[in-house]
Amino acid sequence: MKVFGITAPSTGSGKTTITMAFLSLLKNSVSCKIGPDYIDPGLETAVSGTRSYNIDRWIEGRAYERTLSILASSYDYAVVEGVMGLYDSGSPIDLSTNFYFRKFRIPYILVIDCSKTAESTYYIAKGFLGKHCIGVVLNNYGSEKHLHMVRDEFVKHGIRIIGAVPRDQEVVIESRHLGLHTGLETPDVKKKAQQVSKHLDLSFIEELPEIHNNDVPQSRPSSEKGINIWIAYDRAFNFYYASSLDYLENSGTLHYFSPVNGEYPEDPDIVYFGGGYPEIFAEELSRNRKCIEAVQNSSESGIPVIAECGGLMYLENIISTDTGEYRMAGIFPGRVVMSKRLTLSYSKMIAEQNSVMFRKGETVYGHEYHYSTTDDTSPKLLRNIIGRGIDGKFDGLSIKNTQATYSHFSLGRYGKRLIKKAIEQ
């Protein structure tokens, strides 16, 4: 498998768009995203048709080291999109794109937004043109004259130009408070990627070294009982790690349902609500009483129900938005209120009690990314070391075999107890 990376001097430079454009050109390709992101991988999946995998040593632990090697047995190409700027981390350990590119010896392409510069573009890029940089993509140039002004300085210094993409509003993907619109909300995303791909040169591909699968994947849990795992997946809930879905897929039979469209889990052994935008679809979610009743019955019966971020919001009693207050599942008695304050952080916590996923005293690692707060006086599951959680000190709610947290987790790392609980039911 041939692998190359996409990075930039800063966020907002167009990394995701360029990654999608390359995926549209490469058959049997897969994308990976560095860091705890769901939106970019979802868009890239919509283009490639394959799950997009996160590479994140905070979230996954040592398992992150095997991701590319395992993928090499199934794909011919992998495009690895970086997070923020090349050297950005801001974490207790180095979690920058540069760390991962060096760790896996990934040659990379630098994407530079040149919309507000000309000859200076090269000098901005100069500090990012390391020995493993194979070239640049000049993004958002305004005219042919402008492009020549930008390009000439790179040519003069012997830097390979892999692409030059003109400014074009037709290929822009709209944004909202958590980032770009998701792949489910952008039906023309593949067409947009193909449009951008016309400005890219793939001649560098043959020069890339091959990565082979020299690793044996860790054994996955298997159950004698064919457990049914129901996953909420629609415009309201679609933030899931591919590694978590892989883990669940190897543990039972996956069924997807849409709470927004009136669907509900039927005879589940596990119900899983990921993150997303329940606040935008609160009215539709509140109207789907069959789903609410099914989740309530599952929780009351001790069937494992796990919920992360948007899922936590759904399991609370009320979501309050600008358009009104909406009753949700009410597994927990809290009230969710949307906020203009962004909570964005890796999280590190200690389990204060046993739950469907964690043992008391266990240290767990995740991340949180939300614009809501929850007023819930229920006993909390996790004590924060890093992160804000529900009230600044704690995160997580737990009753019977139901668990809801603002933090997102890798089920490949923390799912064994969950599967065991499901088998025991």
Domain range annotation of the chain:
2-207, 228-424
- From residue 92, alpha-carbon distances to 104, 231, 298, 387 in Å are 21, 33, 39, 12
CA distance 55 to 40: 13
Residue type, 240: Y
Q: Is 133 a catalytic residue?
A: no
DSSP for residue 223: -
Using the predicted structure, report yes or no on whether residue 143 has a pLDDT greater than 70: yes
87-97 mean pLDDT = 92
pLDDT in tens, 307-317: 999 999 999 99
Short-list 232, 259, 274, 227, CA closest to 418? 227
pLDDT in tens, 316-360: 999 999 999 999 999 999 999 998 888 999 999 999 999 999 999
pLDDT bin (cut points 50, 70, 90) of residue 178 is low
pLDDT bin (cut points 50, 70, 90) of residue 214 is low
CA distance 283 to 324: 9
Determine the pLDDT at residue 186: 62
- What CATH number does the domain located at 2-207 have? 3.40.50.300
Confirm if 272 and 279 have CB atoms less than 8 A apart: no
Determine the pLDDT at residue 221: 47
Question: Which pTM was predicted?
Answer: 0.93
Express as a percent the part of the chain with pLDDT over 90.
87
Radius of gyration of the chain (CA): 22
Kind of pairing between the strands at 77-81 and 29-34: parallel
User: Would the CATH topology of 2-207 be identical to that of 228-424?
Assistant: yes
Class of the domain covering 228-424 = alpha beta
- From residue 90, alpha-carbon distances to 94, 223, 343 in Å are 8, 41, 15
Confirm if 167 and 142 have CB atoms less than 8 A apart: yes
